[in-house]
């Protein structure tokens, strides 16, 4: 199979990334619905809907905002502005969604943790989306730097690059399995599974950014890496509890 993968139907070239992106949303939501039916969810349907809406709005704003901030020095021509407005990133979506949920919960007065039910659907959704990123090759800004390592792949420009989307697919499989085992064996409090997921995924993305061709840095870090640091600060108490065994409340 050639990368980028560009299937055609009736002579029309299909956007495989866009197709898999919509498929990721659909399958992830259906998976969430199944998990909620099987779980003992203490949040009523009305509040849960408000939380989902808050997450969706926060994710929409966050994904676009961080996407734009990844390259704020771009030439603001009409074509580039349109491209910027269409730019989005899952990292901004995750953190923006988190803030959207917290705001929604404050508005409706919901005190219960709400994130655990979303963990595995989110991982599944990201996984499907990353398949689309990999198949799109250099048409999506998810590829890695040029490399001489055995892992190098031609993603469409004739150069051997780190297939960072493939690295992430492997990581997501391991994360899914690891969190499933942790959920079964560890005595986690409500909400802790989501926090561990966020910390683990943001830690992976912080590391993988070092082998991506980012063009804008502050203090040697990309926009995504700075967002990872903000996320770690947001969950600083959870990090302290996990690493040092502190009994924090």
Cis-peptide into 4, omega within 30 deg: yes
Tell me the longest C-alpha to C-alpha distance in the chain: 62
List the pLDDT tens digit at each of the 249 positions of the chain.
667 777 767 667 768 888 999 999 999 999 998 998 888 777 787 888 888 899 999 998 998 888 878 776 555 554 555 555 556 789 999 999 999 999 998 898 887 777 888 999 999 999 999 999 998 888 877 889 999 999 999 998 889 999 999 999 999 999 999 999 999 888 888 888 999 999 999 999 999 999 998 878 888 899 999 999 999 999 988 888 877 764 444
Dist. CA 208–CA 200, nearest whole Å: 12
For residues 219 and 211, the answer to whether their CB atoms sit within 8 Å is no
Q: pTM of the predicted model, to two decimals? A: 0.89
């Amino acid at each position: 199979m050639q990368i980028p993968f560009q299937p055609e139907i009736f002579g029309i070239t299909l956007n495989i990334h866009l197709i898999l992106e919509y498929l990721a949303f659909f399958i992830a939501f259906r998976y969430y619905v199944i998990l909620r039916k099987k779980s003992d969810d203490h949040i009523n349907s009305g509040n849960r809907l408000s939380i989902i809406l808050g997450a969706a709005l926060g994710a929409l704003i966050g994904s676009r905002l961080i996407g734009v901030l990844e390259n704020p020095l771009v030439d603001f021509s009409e074509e580039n502005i349109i491209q910027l407005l269409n730019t989005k990133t899952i990292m901004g979506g995750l953190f923006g969604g988190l803030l959207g949920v917290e705001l929604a919960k404050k508005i409706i007065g919901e005190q219960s943790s709400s994130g655990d039910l979303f963990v595995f659907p989110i991982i599944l959704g990201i996984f499907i989306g990353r398949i689309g990123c990999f198949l799109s090759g250099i048409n999506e800004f998810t590829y890695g730097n040029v490399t001489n390592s055995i892992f190098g792949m031609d993603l469409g420009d004739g150069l051997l690059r780190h297939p960072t989307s493939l690295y992430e697919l492997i990581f997501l499989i391991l994360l899914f399995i690891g969190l499933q085992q942790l959920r079964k064996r560890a005595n986690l409090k409500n909400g802790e599974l989501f926090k561990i997921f966020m910390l683990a995924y943001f830690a992976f993305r912080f590391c993988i950014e070092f082998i991506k061709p980012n063009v804008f840095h502050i203090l040697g870090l990309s926009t995504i890496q700075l967002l990872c640091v903000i996320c770690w600060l947001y969950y600083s108490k959870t990090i302290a509890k996990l690493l040092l065994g502190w009994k924090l409340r």
